[in-house]
Amino acid sequence: MAIVGMVGAVYASAVAEPTAFIDEATTADVTKKRYQVTDSALRYWPPDQTITVKKNNDVIITTGFSLERAGGVVVFADALSVDDVVLVSGASLAIAECGGFFNWSIDTESDTEEVSTFSSDGWKEFKQTLNNWSGSAEAYWGDDNFMASVGELLVVKLFVDAGVAKQCFEGFAIVSGDSIETPTEGIVNESIDFQGTGPLYLRL
């Protein structure tokens, strides 16, 4: 499946020195299953960063939830009560706009392996194994930021909506390529390719 965006912006941040935080408050959605760090500057947790989750101020919990590291969300398997308070500690990356992007695209796909047997009645059977995503973005060239970032882990935030809603895709990715095109007449363009690492999230 290919998704193409023509509006919005691309945000990124090199994984360098994340900012530590302790017992940050979270905000629950209506289901009481999703708790996002309230401070929007602390919502990008590096893949190798330890995140501690507390329930009701002092009880550290280690099961019954998953983390959406791109976005700073704790997702519980079962809804919590209205009075429950969730706090998180760890470290987060700051992201900044990489201006000038006028086009981007992402591709998501699922790897499959054949599992046919003699009982498959002559039909091939497959089992899903791993999901992955990749993408690219174009910009008017202005500096060597992305050229210097090839092989580095970044946070990418790709908007599909230029309005108030700010709908976007976001996740961690590695810059896998950077190319610069200089036409005889015209503006110098830059194109970057990136390979996702971990999930890609749609924020509505």
Residues 148 and 184 in one domain: yes
Number of domains in the chain: 2
What does the pLDDT read at residue 124? 75
What does the pLDDT read at residue 6? 56
Domain that holds residue 47: 19-92
What does the pLDDT read at residue 68? 96
Residues 82 and 124 in one domain: no
CATH number at residue 142: 2.40.30
What does the pLDDT read at residue 69? 95
The pTM (predicted TM-score) of the whole model is 0.78
> What is the distance between the alpha carbons of residues 43 and 23, in angstroms, rounded to a whole number?
14
Residues 75 and 62 in one domain: yes
What does the pLDDT read at residue 28? 96
Burial group, residue 120, by CB count within 10 angstroms (0-12, 13-18, 19+): exposed
Residues 130 and 47 in one domain: no
Q: What is the mean pLDDT of each run of 10 residues along the chain (204 residues)?
A: 60 77 96 96 92 91 95 96 95 82 82 72 68 85 65 82 75 84 76 89 86
Residues 34 and 54 in one domain: yes
Residues 103 and 181 in one domain: yes
> What is the distance between the alpha carbons of residues 194 and 180, in angstroms, rounded to a whole number?
15
